[in-house]
Structure 1
Amino acid sequence: MTDTPAPPAPPPAHRGGAGTGSTNTPETAHAGEGHPDGTAPPWRRVLWAAMLGNAVEWYDNALYGILAVVMSRTFFPEGDATVALISTYLGLILSYAIRPVGGTLMGRVADLKGHKFVLTVTISLMSVGTVAIGLLPAYSAIGIAAPLLLALCRLVQGLGASAEYTVASNFLLEHGPRHRRNYLSGWSVGSTSLGPLIASVLAYLLIVTLPGAAFDAWGWRLLFLLAAPLSLVTLYIRRHTTEAPEYRRALEEARNSGTEQAPFTEAVRGHWRDMLRAIGLGAGQRVGSFMIQSYFVTALVQNGIGEDRALLAAILTYVVGAPAAVWGGRCADRYGGRRLLVWGYGVFVLFTVPTFLAIESGSFVLAFLAVVVFTVLNNIVGAPLTTAYVMSFPAHVRGTAAALNYNVGTTLLGGTAPLLATWLVGRTGTEVSFGWYMAAVCLVSALVAAFALPKSIDEAREAAGRTPGETRHPRPATGTEKK
């Protein structure tokens, strides 16, 4: 979209006299203004740290989906191609099966030791798991050890990714201006398209430039090895960020209180209803995300569209996904997250079955347009959904509760979506069967948004001083808001 703003850039330097105070005051961070010494407010660096981490996470997920057919031939014995493909998708599920456990562990550490520490650990684990896949020997070389090592790499990657998105989003929302929370969440959601976009473009270039045998033998491995430099840049930025002032004070108070902290126990006992609501709220978007990033390329290829054209379709979905997410965040800040989620999911319910009909039609143009519209709808609801994931819980258990509900929902609903789609198509002979399943899931999410959505989802709109239905722009921050 041409009217989507560029990522927030550092404001012009402001001149100020001596004794202007700390450059890390919460008022300054919330207002989004520059610091007296001319530097950018902390949340801008945190924004880039969060976006790049999301890119690394979804780069690996996208590669695994894009290269599923190649990897099924590399790491599994010859025979039934469908069985090999399903076995490959089981590796995707495995990396998500570990996430509720890893998310609980990492979220608890975030609540006790801070976000920065956890985000350094997560990016390190994700990069190790991703790069290692590119170095694994094939089944023809080491036999059954190949799929076992592949599973181990997926577990390491899944452990690192288990708290990446929610902790990074939490880190960002605590630093950023309160009245722009959904907008910032939109950038966080949009950045999940950055990794798949890079993966798709690079995969496409290699597929069209290398002979098929060379790509199958070693070309695909280069794509996993290229995760290393992206991870190093992200790690460098994260090491130069700081915790939000309010969060640092909360950590210090907890450490000095003398009371044993048990964020997991409190989250499960005191906020299990909120977590169930969050899982239901995100169900449709979780399934949609995994269809975009891990199944659509396979579905297009299996329905007669070549790998090169299928990858072109995937590339465009990632191009339109980021601006759609940012635009959705701006709309949520202006009109309210609840309204956007109800309408977005409502349209999604009507559009899922036609999407899979278009894929099955054999028409590249029809399938191409349907997948692009599907992606726009999926990303528009992502921003208020991310805000709800994080802000539905009090700060002292937010890391644990957000990571737990996000990972449980992602594992049970998102991670199983490609496998379920493959199984349903095998049983029914039509892609539309999965379309009906997803329509039902989106209907559940729409009902949760309409009747059970936490009030905190619209906090950004209330912080901007607007009433429901107003369309004027947010009033400028005064620099005196308190969180």
Structure 2
Amino acid sequence: MLMPAAPRVESRQRRALVAVLLCNVLEWYDFAVYGLLAVYLSRAFFPQDHSQVALLATLAVFGVSFVMRPLGGLLLGGMGDGRGRKPALLAAALLMAASTFAIGLIPSFERIGLAAPLLLVAARMLQGFSAGGEFGVANAFLLETAPEGRRGFSTSFLSMTVALGSGLASVSTALLVGLLPAAAMEHWGWRVPFLVGGLLGALALWLRRGIDETPAYERAAPAPAAPEAVLQRVRRPMLTVFALTMHWTVCFYIFLIYLPLFTQKHAGLSAGEANWANALSTLAILIVVPLVGHLSDRVGRRPFLIASCGLVLVLALPALWSITWLGSVLPDAFVPIAAIQFLLGCGIALYSGAAPAVMVELFATRDRSRWSAIAYALAAAVFGGFAPFIAVWLTTTLDWPLAPAGYVMLASAISLITAWRMPETAHRPLG
């Protein structure tokens, strides 16, 4: 009579995993789609007197949404630490689904004037608020439900959602650009990915309703709430997470969001080719991340963090130079440029497989959701969200297409020093 219990438990665990990860897929899908469709969004929501100014304004809105991430980490992450992981995960899914769907429905600048970009900013800020809380809560949930000795492998799936979401965005954008006439794409085609994303968010919300609270959270005693005690507990791990996030977030937004724009402008790839090359780079992340997560449970997190930072420091400038050179000497440079992006994707994957576990292992259970989310969100807001805008600004100001490589290398150097000096967390018991 008791035999069916184990299969039912396993089924609930699988549903919980899918429910947590699907909303993260949507988060990165939406952020990637926005960057990949930036040209169409600039034409829809901003006046076209100066197309470059409109594009910069669109990328600035992309960055402005990150201002809300720390607030989302504070409030949704606080809900995750104070009321439980499940309520916070439900709130994040609801906000992400609603705001993503809204972007697909906002009328254009031609129809409603200044209200169009203002509504776009509002939707993006709501997305940023949701994403800011989602990372810490979802990461804590995966860590606390992982089997013994598999925390790195379990949390690495959070990084796989980055690749899945970005890859899905690249594939869907490439298909739309390839299948729809240019006029249809500009008029209504760009809206389709956002409407689909909203529906995926609704599915994630429904799935999350059936998950259970984590045992580690239910066992943990409330942490002392006096400001001095909180600051003493979380100051050092927060600074570590902030510095570690710099490399991760800058590499992601430069190599997976900005680079398709770069390859179109400086290497002559079509929009479809740029998006397919981007999809191949996310494939590298999908392949390598779980392997790194698994190995990090055995040999530790630090070796992979250090290797990723070192690889990017060596490759960033030669990679961008090679892309521009190949575009100037080859009539069809798609294959070698895609290979370069695949290699850069491997560099990101070395970090992405180990970093999620580190960022929550540094904190005690009742601090884990809020403070890891805030530290991550602050670094993502300051260094990642504005990365595409900074890349365009640096290129324009210095009149040098390779200028963004310097920004990447600076972030990688800071994270490398931090990873070199931080303690190993792989074999620590959860506090």
Per the normalisation by structure 2, the TM-score is 0.93
Which residue matches 1:28? Answer: none
* 1:455 equivalent among 401, 404, 424: 424
Question: Would you say 1:203 and 2:173 are equivalent positions?
Answer: yes
Shift of 1:235: 1.4
Question: Would you say 1:315 and 2:279 are equivalent positions?
Answer: yes
Question: Would you say 1:241 and 2:211 are equivalent positions?
Answer: yes
Whether the 8 Å CA contact 1:324–1:379 is kept in 2: the answer is: yes
CA–CA distance in structure 1, aligned partners of residues 148 and 197 of structure 2? 33
Task: Describe the shift of the 1:285–1:397 C-alpha distance in structure 2 as closer, same or farther (beyond 3 A).
Answer: same
Which residue matches 2:346? Answer: 376
Shift of 1:357: 1.1
Which residue matches 1:149? Answer: 119
Task: Describe the shift of the 1:134–1:285 C-alpha distance in structure 2 as closer, same or farther (beyond 3 A).
Answer: same
Which residue matches 1:343? Answer: 307
CA–CA distance in structure 1, aligned partners of residues 197 and 249 of structure 2? 24
* 2:359 equivalent among 370, 377, 389: 389
Which residue matches 1:70? Answer: 40
Which residue matches 1:471? Answer: none
Shift of 1:128: 0.9
* 2:249 equivalent among 286, 292, 310: 286
CA–CA distance in structure 2, aligned partners of residues 384 and 128 of structure 1? 31
How well do the aligned residues superpose, as a CA RMSD in angstroms?
2.1
Question: Would you say 1:214 and 2:184 are equivalent positions?
Answer: yes
Which residue matches 1:274? Answer: 237
Whether the 8 Å CA contact 2:284–2:342 is kept in 1: the answer is: yes
How many residues were matched structurally?
424
Which residue matches 2:141? Answer: 171
Per the normalisation by structure 1, the TM-score is 0.83
* 1:162 equivalent among 132, 139, 146: 132
Whether the 8 Å CA contact 2:156–2:357 is kept in 1: the answer is: no
Supply the AA of the counterpart residue of 1:409.
Answer: A
Question: Would you say 1:429 and 2:365 are equivalent positions?
Answer: no
Whether the 8 Å CA contact 2:156–2:293 is kept in 1: the answer is: yes
Structure richer in helix, relative to its length = 2
Task: Describe the shift of the 1:178–1:413 C-alpha distance in structure 2 as closer, same or farther (beyond 3 A).
Answer: farther
Percent identity over paired residues: 31
Q: Which protein has the larger Cα radius of gyration, Structure 1 or Structure 2?
A: 1
Whether the 8 Å CA contact 2:32–2:165 is kept in 1: the answer is: yes
Between 1:281-290 and 1:61-70, the stretch displaced more is 281-290
Supply the AA of the counterpart residue of 1:358.
Answer: S
Supply the AA of the counterpart residue of 1:414.
Answer: G
- After TM superposition, the structure 1 = structure 2 runs for residues 24-423 of structure 1, keeping only pairs within 5 Å, are 36=6, 39-40=9-10, 43-250=13-220, 253-254=221-222, 262=225, 266-303=229-266, 304-361=268-325, 362=327, 363-423=333-393
CA–CA distance in structure 2, aligned partners of residues 221 and 267 of structure 1? 44
Q: C-alpha offsets along residues 26-50 of structure 1, whole Å, 9 cap, x if unaligned?
A: xxxxxxxx96456417543332222
Could you list the structure 1 runs, at least 4 aligned residues long, displaced by more than 6 angstroms after superposition: none
Which residue matches 1:24? Answer: none
Shift of 1:99: 0.7
CA–CA distance in structure 2, aligned partners of residues 358 and 137 of structure 1? 41
CA–CA distance in structure 1, aligned partners of residues 184 and 366 of structure 2? 52
Task: Describe the shift of the 1:273–1:348 C-alpha distance in structure 2 as closer, same or farther (beyond 3 A).
Answer: same
Between 1:233-242 and 1:125-134, the stretch displaced more is 233-242
SS of 2:188's partner is: helix
SS of 1:126's partner is: helix
Q: C-alpha offsets along residues 125-146 of structure 1, whole Å, 9 cap, x if unaligned?
A: 0111111011111111111111
Between 1:265-274 and 1:175-184, the stretch displaced more is 265-274
Shift of 1:415: 0.8
CA–CA distance in structure 1, aligned partners of residues 227 and 296 of structure 2? 30
Which residue matches 2:330? Answer: none
Whether the 8 Å CA contact 2:72–2:132 is kept in 1: the answer is: yes
Between 1:414-423 and 1:264-273, the stretch displaced more is 264-273
Shift of 1:124: 0.8
Shift of 1:114: 0.5
Supply the AA of the counterpart residue of 2:214.
Answer: A
Whether the 8 Å CA contact 2:281–2:338 is kept in 1: the answer is: no
Structure 1 unaligned spans of 5+: 1-16, 21-33, 464-481
SS of 2:236's partner is: helix
Shift of 1:266: 4.9
SS of 1:432's partner is: coil
CA–CA distance in structure 2, aligned partners of residues 130 and 364 of structure 1? 31
CA–CA distance in structure 2, aligned partners of residues 287 and 121 of structure 1? 27
Structure 2 unaligned spans of 5+: 328-332
Supply the AA of the counterpart residue of 2:423.
Answer: P
CA–CA distance in structure 2, aligned partners of residues 274 and 149 of structure 1? 37
Between 1:169-178 and 1:227-236, the stretch displaced more is 227-236
Whether the 8 Å CA contact 2:301–2:424 is kept in 1: the answer is: no
SS of 1:163's partner is: helix
CA–CA distance in structure 1, aligned partners of residues 248 and 216 of structure 2? 31
CA–CA distance in structure 2, aligned partners of residues 177 and 435 of structure 1? 40
CA–CA distance in structure 1, aligned partners of residues 401 and 225 of structure 2? 46
Supply the AA of the counterpart residue of 1:296.
Answer: L
Supply the AA of the counterpart residue of 2:298.
Answer: R
Whether the 8 Å CA contact 1:111–1:263 is kept in 2: the answer is: no
Shift of 1:206: 1.4
CA–CA distance in structure 2, aligned partners of residues 343 and 200 of structure 1? 27
CA–CA distance in structure 2, aligned partners of residues 61 and 103 of structure 1? 17
Task: Describe the shift of the 1:275–1:367 C-alpha distance in structure 2 as closer, same or farther (beyond 3 A).
Answer: same
Whether the 8 Å CA contact 1:104–1:264 is kept in 2: the answer is: no
CA–CA distance in structure 1, aligned partners of residues 400 and 229 of structure 2? 45
Shift of 1:367: 2.3
CA–CA distance in structure 2, aligned partners of residues 128 and 264 of structure 1? 35
CA–CA distance in structure 2, aligned partners of residues 70 and 263 of structure 1? 49
CA–CA distance in structure 2, aligned partners of residues 246 and 419 of structure 1? 41
Which residue matches 1:476? Answer: none
CA–CA distance in structure 2, aligned partners of residues 169 and 263 of structure 1? 25
Q: C-alpha offsets along residues 345-364 of structure 1, whole Å, 9 cap, x if unaligned?
A: 11121011112112322143
